[in-house]
Amino acid sequence: MATVTELQNRVDHLEALLRERDRKRVEEQAAALAAQQATDAAKDAEARAMAAAAEREQIRRGAWLSHLLGQSATDAPVDFAAMGQQVPATGWPPGADESNYVFTGGTLPKEPDVANTALGRTLASLTKTI
Partner 1 sequence: MTKLDSITTATATPVRGDISPSLHPDSILPFGQTLATDDSPLTAAAFTAGRHALKALYETQAAMEQASLATRAKYGSGAVVDGSSIHAALPDDRAAQLAADLGDAFSRVARQFDLHVSNVTETIGTLTASIDRALQPKSRDAVTAQNLSDLRKFIADKPDGQRLDWVHQQIASGDLEVAHAVLGSNPFVSGMTREDQKLMRDLAAKTFALKEHAALTAATQMYEHLQKASQIFVARYKIIAPVVKPSAHAAAIANLKKSA
| Interface residues toward partner 1, by CB under 8 A | 111-112, 114, 117-120, 122-123, 126-127, 130
Q: 69, 83 in Cβ contact below 8 A?
A: yes
CB of 91 to partner 1, least distance (A): 33
Q: Identify which of residues 86 and 122 has a Cβ nearer to partner 1 in the complex.
A: 122
Q: In terms of CB distance, is 72 or 122 closer to partner 1?
A: 122
Q: Closest separation between CB of residue 36 and partner 1, Å?
A: 10
> How far is residue 70's CA from residue 63's CA, in Å, rounded to a whole number?
11
DSSP conformation class of 51: H
Backbone φ and ψ of 74, nearest 5°? -70, -30
Q: How far is the CB of 130 from partner 1 (least distance, A)?
A: 7
Choice between 61 and 121, CB closer to partner 1: 121
Whole-angstrom Cα distance, residue 31 to residue 39? 12
